[in-house]
Amino acid sequence: MSIVAQAFSNHGALAKAINGFSPRQAQTDMALAVAKAIDKQSPLVVEAGTGTGKTFAYLIPAFLAIKPPSANAKSKKIIISTGTKNLQEQLFHKDIPLVKKALVSDAQVALLKGRANYLCRYRLAQYQETRGQLDANTLTDLVKVKTWANSTQTGDIGELVNVTEDSGVFPFITSTLDNCLAKDCPDYEQCYLVKARQKAIDADLIVVNHHLFFADMALKDTGFGELIPKAHVMVFDEAHQIGDIASDYFGEAFSTRQLVDLCFDVLQIYRSKLMDVKQLGLAAEKLQKSCQEFRLLFNFDPERGNWREKYHQHRFAQKFAKLKVDLDFLYQVIKLCISRNEIIDNCFDRAVKLLMQYEVMANIDINGISFWYETTPRHVVLHLTPLSVADKFSAYVKESRAGWIFTSATLAVDNSFEHFAQHLGLQGASQLLLESPFDYLQQSQLIVPRYLPEANDKNRAAHLAQLAQPLIKASKGACFMLFTSYRVMHQVAEILADNIDNTLLVQGQMAKRVLLESFVATDEAVLLATASFWEGIDVRGDKLTCVIIDKLPFASPDEPLLQARCEDVRRQGGDAFAQIQLPQAVIALKQGVGRLIRDVSDRGILVICDNRLVNRPYGETFLKSLPQMKRTRDLSQATAFLEMIK
């Protein structure tokens, strides 16, 4: 028996370290495949259904490869990338210590987060000097940050439990790629971010997240692209997310926020150190005003759209050109002050970079690219996204000569990895599809109710609320309603509030984590949520026995990047629906469905309120991609099942 298989056996390392551990064939199979990919440094794609235990299935071979038992084998450096910061923390603080203990490993492990997670000593000192410009709440938080800053070892702002996540203080005490002074910074030697990166470079295994990984890979954070070239193996958990994230990082963005931040820093330095250069203040204020005017051209409510189309309209082109004139003027004035101060030098570099980024967004005629915009209440962000990252990514994988392991509970569509592999240009990767060990036929039922309204019916919310009520009653709350639209979610919430006594928790009422904690802590609660609750949520036992999904999760056809990708596929003679829209929706639905059964003893019903699942030919693709569940269209059977398990 191989050393990896031994670790997962009845009397192996995991059984000795974890109470109640029992070997699972699928987990061992995955671990063996991962060990092989690590050994050969070759690509591997694994879908491991919920409950397979995929985390240990990649951690054990990873740690065994760091300190190989055989004297001839070379030690390997490994990067593990997860979908979210929460998962990063869970790996670093919970799973990895367990595996290290089980294998008696002294491997060095580092947790590395993105720049925005670390205190910037330099900026904190700056804002202490100019605190007069901050509002009362931000000032109160700044005092708390200062107290914490005196004692923290890591500078990780996650330690700041007494400051809320959305506090306005964070932009003032963390750095961005733009405003970090890097080697010119007087605090460079003591910088928490620099120290965290150094620790990561020295570690045997680094836990990062996908955003950080692709920022590094696309060299979007200077002085950082040192991690990946040194690694022998990359493991991506929640790998279904990486195609879209990679697209973002291989693209470009230009935002009025960057311009306004630049103006803010210029004004700051003008008012404190360069008061003699009056033009600095004038130029920065002028650009600030142009940014506001540019934002006002777009709809009041945040939206996304096609930048090419907007740019062809005279008033947009005119105000966009004005941004350039004012940015250019600011650049000229800053240039006169070079070398007078490190901040103004940094502002000069930023102005140069912004002028270059501006040109990229003005050059809208290049092919193979989607130009799109999104607005926030105050800002406009222009994006350039390549329609495909396959060529770039596959070239990178090939050149690295490393092992690339991609895993998730949702990678395959109708038992095929074609969509995933094509998106990333992965050729010749080994593939493994492991079914969940849960007995879905016994543990669950799938209901597609009869007499459902059409997807665009204006009374849809009322129908959904009516349909949900007997289910909520039978499941005694313990119910998630997952929506594809905020509007419908709020409409249903309003109707339910008038008709049921259960506690209703609606996304947006409080932070996601708090909302979820309240759901678990409150008896008979019902949670209504949209996209971000479709994945990464783990509620076990009878706290969650009913998941109602309002509609098949096809991305909005108005989504500019999706439109551009579909257009591109059509131009090449392909079928955009089959190649892009359907696989994306299948993966999203699999994620949503995955919220229901989280353990061998969990039981519950899944209700999908969309007729298309049964009356459109593509409904089969969805059904074949889901775990095998007993199916019914009869709501009374569903309520009977719920009453039986409650």
Query: Where does this chain bind ligand SF4 (CB under 6 A)?
Result: 120-123, 175, 180-182, 185, 187-188, 191, 193-194
Nearest distance in Å: CB 354, ligand SF4: 19
User: Side chain identity at 88, as an amino acid letter?
Assistant: Q
Q: What does the alpha-carbon distance between residue 209 and residue 332 come to, in Å, rounded to a whole number? A: 39
Nearest distance in Å: CB 186, ligand SF4: 8
Q: What does the alpha-carbon distance between residue 548 and residue 481 come to, in Å, rounded to a whole number? A: 5
Closer Cβ to ligand SF4, 185 or 233, answer by number: 185
Closer Cβ to ligand SF4, 221 or 244, answer by number: 221
Closer Cβ to ligand SF4, 182 or 462, answer by number: 182
Nearest distance in Å: CB 286, ligand SF4: 27
Rounded (5°) CA angle 285-286-289:
85
Helix (H, G, I), strand (E, B) or coil at 471: helix
Nearest distance in Å: CB 527, ligand SF4: 38
DSSP state of 593: H
Nearest distance in Å: CB 9, ligand SF4: 47
Closer Cβ to ligand SF4, 127 or 519, answer by number: 127
Closer Cβ to ligand SF4, 120 or 596, answer by number: 120
Nearest distance in Å: CB 181, ligand SF4: 4
Helix (H, G, I), strand (E, B) or coil at 314: helix
Q: What does the alpha-carbon distance between residue 122 and residue 364 come to, in Å, rounded to a whole number? A: 38
User: Side chain identity at 369, as an amino acid letter?
Assistant: I
Half-sphere exposure of 43 (CA within 13 A, CB side): 19
User: Side chain identity at 264, as an amino acid letter?
Assistant: F
Name the residue among 315, 310, 326 with its Cα closest to residue 361: 310
Nearest distance in Å: CB 125, ligand SF4: 9
Helix (H) or strand (E) holding 88: helix 85-90
Q: What does the alpha-carbon distance between residue 79 and residue 208 come to, in Å, rounded to a whole number? A: 7
Closer Cβ to ligand SF4, 193 or 548, answer by number: 193
3-state helix, strand and coil shares in percent for the chain, rounded to the nearest 5: 50, 15, 35
Nearest distance in Å: CB 152, ligand SF4: 13
Q: What does the alpha-carbon distance between residue 327 and residue 290 come to, in Å, rounded to a whole number? A: 9
Closer Cβ to ligand SF4, 62 or 262, answer by number: 262
Nearest distance in Å: CB 198, ligand SF4: 12
User: Side chain identity at 107, as an amino acid letter?
Assistant: A
Q: Name the pairing type of β-strands 430-434 and 369-375.
A: unpaired
Helix (H, G, I), strand (E, B) or coil at 294: helix
Inter-axis angle of helices 342-362 and 256-272, nearest 10: 160
Nearest distance in Å: CB 155, ligand SF4: 9
Closer Cβ to ligand SF4, 110 or 606, answer by number: 110
Closer Cβ to ligand SF4, 15 or 201, answer by number: 201
Q: Is the dihedral of CA 67, 69, 74, 78 positive or negative?
A: negative
Q: What does the alpha-carbon distance between residue 193 and residue 385 come to, in Å, rounded to a whole number? A: 28
Closer Cβ to ligand SF4, 15 or 182, answer by number: 182
